Amino acid sequence: MTTEQKSAYDKIMEAVYGYSGGVFFLYEYSGTQKTFVWKTLASTLKSKGQIVLAIASSGIASLLIPGDKTAYSRFAIPLNVDELSTCNIKQGSDLAQLLVKTTLIIWDEATIVNKYCIEALDQTMQDILRFKNINSLD
């Protein structure tokens, strides 16, 4: 790994193991090995029995990741999203249970989606996780 890649890897793993959570963007030009970093993160966590969801913003990009899912299909994000939108995930559903158990979500090309998509997922995650951890509202 390069120094920058190792720094990003270490910061994300620190957030995972410190249970502090967080949102991290790896924003670089094509060919800078972003995929290598997130595959390394996913491999490390999966080897320890953790659940990692890898999704993409577009259908083309989703073909390059394991699981072959877009953010819209994985998180049931509405097509016409606005500032009040949430994902169509019901408390106690299989998808909600999966999200509760998930250690890391890798969202490839997150910078190309409407900001309300990310905010809808954030609000939904707060709603789902508040029953497991009251601090998830923060």
Q: Where are the domains of the chain?
A: 3-137
pLDDT at 133: 61
Q: In this structure, are residues 93 and 76 in contact, taking their beta carbons and an 8 Å threshold?
A: no
Distance CA 118, CA 63 (A): 21
Supply the pLDDT for residue 83.
Answer: 94
Nearest to 105 by CA among 29, 32, 16, 17: 16
Q: What is the pTM of this model?
A: 0.81
What does the pLDDT look like over 3-37, one tens digit per residue?
988 999 999 999 999 888 788 887 766 666 778 88
> pLDDT tens-digit profile of 31-85?
667 788 888 998 999 999 999 888 877 766 655 666 667 788 889 999 899 999 9
Residues contacting residue 67 through CB under 8 Å, at least 6 positions apart:
53, 54, 55, 74
pLDDT at position 1 is: 86
DSSP 25-49: -----TTS-HHHHHHHHHHHHHHTT
Q: Tell me the C-alpha distance between 79 and 5, whole Å.
A: 34
